[in-house]
Amino acid sequence: MMTQEAAAETILVVDGDVITRTVIAEYLRHCGFRVLEAGTGAEAMQALQHPEFSIDVVLSDVELPGDMSGFDLSHWVRKSMPQVKVLLAGAVERIADTAGDLCEDGPHLAKPYDHRLILDHIKRLRAR
């Protein structure tokens, strides 16, 4: 379990696959994080701009339904909210590698998710 400090952190999980999104969101909640969920880039942007939410980390799939990809969302977050950390995940590692400049460390996560790796990446982002 995480410390009280970690429990105050909010993670936005963005994935068009409701089952994948729900599983990873529940895992992160179990680890002590507050978790919000979005199914599209547009929903994620709404959550990020909502005055009642203070989001610290966005964990997004590279491929999202709708007009906005995870790459587009990451680019928007970096320009609009540079204090928010971004982790991208993709089913094809090569796709994720092409967007390395959009994230603090570049996207490192491959789907299907390894829950321990996600938690490790979030811990490293928080440590910065």
Which residue ranges make up each domain of the chain? 4-127
Q: How many CB atoms lie within 10 A of CB 119?
A: 15
Per-residue pLDDT for 53 more than 50?
Answer: yes
Checking if the pLDDT of 102 tops 70, the result is no
Res 76 pLDDT > 80: yes
Give the least confident one: 62-66, 74-78, 120-124. 120-124
- CATH ID of 4-127, from 1.10.579.10, 3.40.718.10, 3.40.50.300, 3.40.50.2300: 3.40.50.2300
**Strands of 109-110's sheet, edge to edge?**
34-38, 10-14, 57-61, 85-90, 109-110
Average pLDDT over the chain reads 81
Report whether pLDDT(58) > 80. Answer: yes
| CA gap 1, 109 in Å, rounded | 22
- pTM, two decimal places: 0.75
